[in-house]
Structure 1
Amino acid sequence: MKKIIAAIIIAIGGGFSVVQAQTQEVDRTVKEDTIWVDYKTRYTSSFWDNFYVEADFAGRMLMGAEDTHLSFGSRLKPGFGITVGKWFHPDFGVRLNFGGARLKGWNSGPTGIYAYDDGWVEGFDPVQEYWKGQGVDTQNGYRQDIKYYELNADFLFDLYNVFTSHNRLNRKWTAQGYVGVGMLRAAKYHGMEDNVKVGLRVGLIGNYHITDRLGLHLSVGSEITDANFTGELGKGNKFSGILNGTIGLSCRIGRQGYRVVRLVPQRQLAALNNAISLIRTEQTVSGDTIVMKERMATGSLLIPSVVFYPGKNEFNEELQMVNIFRIARYMMRYKDAKIAIVGNTGGTDSRLARRRAEKVRDLLVNKYGIFPQRMEIRTYDVNAKYGVTGYEQSVNFTVIE
């Protein structure tokens, strides 16, 4: 009887030992496999890289309060633009733009360009006389007909990259915003004298990359400048607005692309080095390597897990591919072993969990040549089954034979 009682006690103690050993194994798994690395990514390139040129057909119109006396069609006039730009980073760049156009508007106030210039004397206004000659009643105002050129410097920022880091570099469609400053010069024309003003610019650009070099783009923007730019007197501190839209072709010139540099905080780099050291100290066999120091029993949870980004079917390859490699080594060492690839549903819906498990299985098959018949796809809450935390957003592995 005493022997029976002793055997029961030993069995219970052994059972507790097995449970404790498995719990320790799971705890060690969580500590090793849930290292999150907060990379700071930098994009570098030569100064002569990532240049482009553009040629535009433009439509522009004056947007002053009195210009509404003319119809939309009467104010909209054609123009042109030539641009040279450079992207310093996937998120921002600069450009220089030269363009020209005619502008049509209406002025109901005093005529003339300046109160005192060579063509204007008391009782005689060259602009007024010109429009009288064209049959315009200048007592109610007169038409403005302006030829001008502009030189602009703009700062560009990628609107897509502001909101997401996915696929930052190679997209068919891109959307950018710009802010800048321009110098506008009105030519001597129809009574107008030379007139130089500074304008502030803002706008949006949409691009479609037809090829790696050639692209099509549309833009819409506006510019604000001094009201005297249009030759109006007595406007004080008022402003004139110019609305512009362009369509054109762009061409990337020279070398394109960036060198991606990822900076890792020192404490996280130390964690990565520790993980690598653990792998290097694993037991090895001549001509082959193994992931475990011994073959694991059926139902055991294998140490590596693959941690995915929350809510996504993607993971940090630099950190997690080593864990897939460790599973592949185990399967290579024990060639008759079979495993279940478990998509963890703890904090994730079963559909996404299954897709994650299938992605890992495909990597084991296509990258390491593991037969798919040796693997099964399963989904369940690993956290609840093993009574642990830290396995959220993961794919795990258990021995089934």
Structure 2
Amino acid sequence: MKKLMFALAIASISSATFAQQSNKSQNAIVSESVDVMEVPVDKYKVETNRFFDNWFFSVGGGAQVLFGDQSDLGKFGKRIAPALNVSIGKWFTPGLGLRLQYSGLQSKSFSSEPSAYSKPHMLSEGYYQDKFNYMNLHGDILFNISNMLAGYNPDRIYDAVPFVGFGFAHSYDKPHLNSLAFNFGLINTFHVADAWDLNLELYGMGAENKFDGKTLNKGLDVMLGASVGVTYKFPQRGFKPAPDVDAMMALTASQMDAINAALAQQIEQNRQLKAQLANTPNEVVTEQVTVNQLTPVPQSVFFQIGSATLPQNSTVNLQQIANLVKDNPGIKLKVTGYADSDTGSASWNKQLSEDRANTVANELVKLGVNKSNMIISGMGGVNTLTPPAFNRRVIIEAQ
């Protein structure tokens, strides 16, 4: 996971106590600290996939067997025919994709009487052999159940990809029959390189009864087969995992707790020092105490893609901000919303950024901050941070 420097508290604490007594001085300083943390990601969510990302091209070859009218008259081995498939497609998410496939090549069967695709001479066994060339053009929906169930992992070696689709089958031999077809199967994908996959595809096609040139029986003509092939994945390939906004807000809360603990410790040190000076007799004491001096450090609230709904756990940090503002009435807050320019139109992002800023401002009002002490604005879509999810935020600054 990428690392990011978080400045997650609205106030850094700089507190000093100076006492002069008989040319003696004492000083207490608490310095600010900022932690470097790993950004948590959600393995079930990814960044927006652009149109030209994650396209692929596949080719494979194998064997197939027709289960149609009277196909069982001959031996199974003599019904095995060569198969070919060529595909182009795109993954829209790690779990969902579409492809267009050209498949088929040859079909073999048998008939008790001459059919449209029978050879002219009867075999010695007393039946005719059928053979014809065909193609099946179909569109399929791909489901990567490995990514759906276990989350996106670009380093996974094997993925199971079931598919279903529809198309039509066309015979290249007379009488050139066309049949509607239903397609289904399982692609076993083995990732051998960043751009290349090795595939074992198990597939089936259910076509209209006329597909094999005979309509002696009711029901579909079914083609079952297997092929081995390769897939090339065009650049840009792969997905960027989306940051886990809820987990990020939880990290923010833990850092805010540390800041508050440091503040309480400094106040106690100042109290003890003040008590020591008050108990010193017959001395002129000049004391200067500064507690809870605020330095504006931005705080971010991150949002899910396309959403202006306040994330879970964000109110924990907003409550801390509200408390500090109530303790320091002179502070004004600048609340600025943003969207990521990689997603949506400029007008949509402008409105979304304003909605996010107003959402945070309204929550601060609920927590006791006067809205007149806030400057609220939306800056539209930006691309200042990477990954783009970090641009879907509201920044709160003390003025």
Using the size of structure 1 for normalisation, the TM-score is 0.51
For the Cα contact (< 8 Å) 1:40–1:264, is it kept in 2? Answer: no
TM superposition shift of 1:97: 0.8
CA distance in 2, matches of 1:160, 1:54: 20
- Structure 2 residue 221 is matched with structure 1 residue 221: no
The letter for the 1-side match of 2:130 is Q
Report which of the two has the higher share of strand.
Answer: 2
Q: What do the CA deviations read for 1:168-199 (whole angstroms, capped 9, x no partner)?
A: 332122221111112110122xxx30111111
Q: What do the CA deviations read for 1:14-46 (whole angstroms, capped 9, x no partner)?
A: xxxxxxxxxxxxxxxxxxxxxxx9997344211
Map of 1:245 onto structure 2: 226
The 3-state SS of whatever aligns with 2:261 is coil
Instruction: Tell me which of the two structures has the higher relative contact order, counting C-alpha pairs closer than 8 angstroms and 6 or more residues apart.
Output: 2
- Structure 2 residue 260 is matched with structure 1 residue 281: yes
TM superposition shift of 1:147: 0.9
TM superposition shift of 1:277: 2.8
The 3-state SS of whatever aligns with 1:258 is coil
For the Cα contact (< 8 Å) 2:46–2:239, is it kept in 1? Answer: no
For the Cα contact (< 8 Å) 1:90–1:169, is it kept in 2? Answer: no
Relative to 1, partners in 2 of residues 1:38 and 1:155: Cα closer, same or farther, differing over 3 Å? closer
CA distance in 2, matches of 1:38, 1:45: 16
Q: Percent identity?
A: 22
TM superposition shift of 1:271: 6.3
The answer for unaligned runs of 5 or more in structure 2 is 1-40, 270-312, 314-399
* 1:193-342 map, 5 Å: 193-235=175-217, 237-262=218-243, 264=245, 274-283=253-262
Map of 1:185 onto structure 2: 170
CA distance in 2, matches of 1:83, 1:238: 28
TM superposition shift of 1:64: 2.5
The 3-state SS of whatever aligns with 1:282 is helix
Map of 2:56 onto structure 1: 52
The 3-state SS of whatever aligns with 1:220 is strand
For the Cα contact (< 8 Å) 1:50–1:88, is it kept in 2? Answer: yes
The letter for the 2-side match of 1:154 is D
Map of 2:343 onto structure 1: none
Q: For this pair of structures, how many residues does the alignment match?
A: 230
For the Cα contact (< 8 Å) 1:44–1:260, is it kept in 2? Answer: no
Map of 1:148 onto structure 2: 134
- Structure 2 residue 83 is matched with structure 1 residue 74: no
Relative to 1, partners in 2 of residues 1:42 and 1:214: Cα closer, same or farther, differing over 3 Å? closer
Map of 1:169 onto structure 2: 154
TM superposition shift of 1:230: 0.7
- Structure 2 residue 103 is matched with structure 1 residue 99: yes
**What's the Cα RMSD here?**
3.4
The letter for the 1-side match of 2:138 is N
CA distance in 2, matches of 1:274, 1:39: 22
The letter for the 1-side match of 2:260 is T
CA distance in 2, matches of 1:182, 1:217: 22
CA distance in 2, matches of 1:271, 1:246: 49
CA distance in 1, matches of 2:101, 2:162: 15
CA distance in 2, matches of 1:38, 1:281: 29
CA distance in 2, matches of 1:255, 1:146: 41
Report which of the two has the higher share of helix.
Answer: 1
The letter for the 2-side match of 1:193 is P
Map of 2:9 onto structure 1: none
For the Cα contact (< 8 Å) 2:69–2:214, is it kept in 1? Answer: no
Using the size of structure 2 for normalisation, the TM-score is 0.51
CA distance in 1, matches of 2:51, 2:204: 30
The letter for the 1-side match of 2:60 is D
TM superposition shift of 1:137: 7.7
For the Cα contact (< 8 Å) 2:122–2:128, is it kept in 1? Answer: no
